[in-house]
Amino acid sequence: MTRLFDLLYYQLENHPLKNAINGRDALGNWKSYSSQEVKDTAEKVASGLLKLGLKPGDKVAIVVYKNRPEWIILDFAMQMAGIISIPLYPTISIGEYEYILNEAEVKIAFCGSGNLYNKLNATRTKVASLEQLFTFDKQKDIPYWKDVFDDTRKTEIETIKSGIKNKDLATIIYTSGTTGNPKGVMLSHQNILHVVLNTSQHLQTKAGDNVLSFLPLCHIFERTVSFVYYYKSAKIFFAGTDNLSGPDGDLSVVRPVTFTTVPRLLEKIYEAIYNKGLALKGTKKKLFFWALTLTDSYELNQKLSFSTKLKWKIADKLIFSKWRDALGGNLRAVITGAAPCPVKVMRVFCAAGIPIREGYGLTETSPTLSVNTMEKDGVLLGSAGPLIDGVEIIINQEDGDYPQGEGEILAYGPNVMLGYYKKPEVNAQVFCEIDGKRWFRTGDIGKLITGPTGRKFLKITDRKKELLKTSGGKYVAPAPIENRIKEEFLVEQMIVIGDKQKFVSALILPAEEALRSYCKKKSIPWTTLNDIIIHPKIIRRYQKIIDTYNPEFSHVEQIKKFKLIAQQWLSVHPDGAEAELTPTLKLKRRIIREKYRAEIAEIYSE
């Protein structure tokens, strides 16, 4: 296999499936495509795209709210026809659509249900290249994706396919970014296939297993994982995040052996489990928190005495087995990425028999650079895991005041992007030549640490651009502080601030449901979140949290003051206001600082 569409034929030849990819229809019923149907349909769509007048190298956009089989079929079809796919986030503004569609000179777009057709249609007066729109759901007077199907260009498709090389451009993915306009990351077949082939052995699936896919396919993380699933002939069930839990939820129905997620979803699952424990009474409640306390001292590959083994056995039978059942009862591993996952959350799940493995990468690296594995010496909680085969990194200490052994991570390998689309000046900044190799500057700060068996693990400590510098000239990395304190149930989100200031402070967004439970327990009358965050007892409670964690950090990193805020931080606001989070739930620090300029000024004026 040298091109991504080779996966279609690989599965057919090695382990064809009756239900290779699956998704729910408009009525909520599962619809399946066999391996043969996926290939045949992709070929028909590829032929249809050529019939519409598209040529190899042309750009086609695709956007949906929920993952669905049509997405991956269209993706394969575009690859066969040599057409460049432009996946889009469904939550971005019409202005951002206009920017991307214009820069990429997109000719045709396909979209799912909801308001997506209207949003894309609204761009047409300002996007001269956009000729046609198609929807995946049949609607009156709107072109339907099946109208594209054709089988008259088979010979032409075969000719195009035979000419596609592994280093040819396959897709341009526009990164959400925390500042400025998005940049188009150009990825080749080789870039993505390298990750597929070199991470497949770490995904706990075998032919015929059920897997669940709900992270957006427009993000390279889930898209590459879906190719791994296809390579391993796992049955892929595409879903959204709105119907995961509960007796009729996708986790219970599909009973997957694995899925990928972002840390925030794991945190929410953990919070839900914890809050259910709080609601228990008597002996059941005592047992729940006794079992939870056991997890505090859990270590991977730990050796236990007979009496301790017995305790874990009891805890597993009475408590942890129910957690596993709630997640489908069949999980072998969960892979998390896109942002750092709190160690406490990973430790609890691992202790409960739900292995969490964290990886690291960027859209620009297709995405994986490193990942914790299921090998006995392949995991170290709090790290991003060992490097995948074929990847090299340098910890570069130039251009920064870094602690010993830390520096910016430079990456080299077959998975590193071709470059940013139409951005030669940015490419000149992010690539550098060392010893005859073209290294990519990730912008992330990290270090290599040694595991118990001598194996090297990559640890991410911060983003280069997010480092604060106090007025005293000291550098502070906000992410480790934020991630540690966010392990508290009462903290939903927080941002550490203090650039060019005398000391470090924070804005804290309380976890509303957990705070309600706390107020009820302490007999503090609940009115609104706006009122409760100025209650003296609540402020003292959060001060206690800060006082608990501050000793873990150096003097300059300790939070001297904080302010509680009540407005939720979202990746998209219904009223169109500027979002505080990227689609992958990273903090948009500049936006947050601007929105809370008055609150920050108040902190530093006192």
Strand 437-450 and strand 456-463: the pairing is antiparallel
Q: Lowest-confidence range among 193-207, 267-281, 284-298?
A: 267-281
115: Cα within 13 Å, side-chain hemisphere: 8
pLDDT class for 302, splitting at 50, 70, 90?
Answer: confident
Residue 316 has pLDDT above 90, yes or no: yes
The mean pLDDT of 506-523, rounded to a whole number, is 93
pLDDT at 187: 98
- Write the pLDDT tens digit of every residue in 116-172: 999 999 999 999 999 999 999 999 999 999 999 999 999 999 999 999 999 999 999
DSSP state of 25: -
pLDDT class for 240, splitting at 50, 70, 90?
Answer: confident
pLDDT at 575: 77
Q: Lowest-confidence range among 71-75, 90-94, 355-359, 430-434?
A: 90-94
The mean pLDDT of 256-284, rounded to a whole number, is 90
Does domain 468-605 match CATH 3.40.50.300? no
pLDDT at 606: 66
- Write the pLDDT tens digit of every residue in 543-570: 999 999 999 888 889 999 999 999 999 8
pLDDT class for 179, splitting at 50, 70, 90?
Answer: low
pLDDT at 587: 86
- Write the pLDDT tens digit of every residue in 367-382: 999 999 999 999 999 9
Q: Lowest-confidence range among 238-242, 304-308, 573-577?
A: 573-577
Q: Where in the chain is the domain with CATH 3.30.300.30?
A: 468-605
pLDDT class for 477, splitting at 50, 70, 90?
Answer: confident
The larger pLDDT score, comparing residue 488 to residue 368, is at 368
Q: Lowest-confidence range among 339-343, 472-476, 493-497, 526-530?
A: 472-476
The mean pLDDT of 455-465, rounded to a whole number, is 88
pTM of this prediction?
Answer: 0.85
Q: Where in the chain is the domain with CATH 3.40.50.12780?
A: 6-164+203-261
pLDDT at 180: 66
Contact call for residues 440 and 480 (beta carbons, < 8 A): no
The mean pLDDT of 481-499, rounded to a whole number, is 92
- The CATH class that applies to domain 6-164+203-261 reads alpha beta
Residue 177 has pLDDT above 60, yes or no: no
- Write the pLDDT tens digit of every residue in 7-56: 999 999 999 999 999 999 888 899 999 999 999 999 999 999 999 999 99
For residue 564, give the nearest of 543, 585, 548 by alpha carbon: 543
Q: What are the E-state strand segments in 353-481?
A: 356-361, 368-371, 392-396, 407-412, 419-420, 431-434, 437-450, 456-463, 468-469, 475-476
What is the spatial distance between Cα 367 and Cα 335, in angstroms, rounded to a whole number?
Answer: 13
pLDDT at 325: 93
What is the spatial distance between Cα 537 and Cα 570, in angstroms, rounded to a whole number?
Answer: 27
DSSP state of 413: S
Sequential DSSP letters for 59-117: EEEEE-SS--HHHHHHHHHHHHTTPEEEE--TTS-HHHHHHHHHHHTEEEEEE-STTHH
Percent of the chain at pLDDT above 70?
Answer: 99
Residue 176 has pLDDT above 70, yes or no: no
Query: For all residues of the chain together, what is the average pLDDT?
Result: 93
**DSSP bridge partners of 172:** 186
Contact call for residues 431 and 396 (beta carbons, < 8 A): no
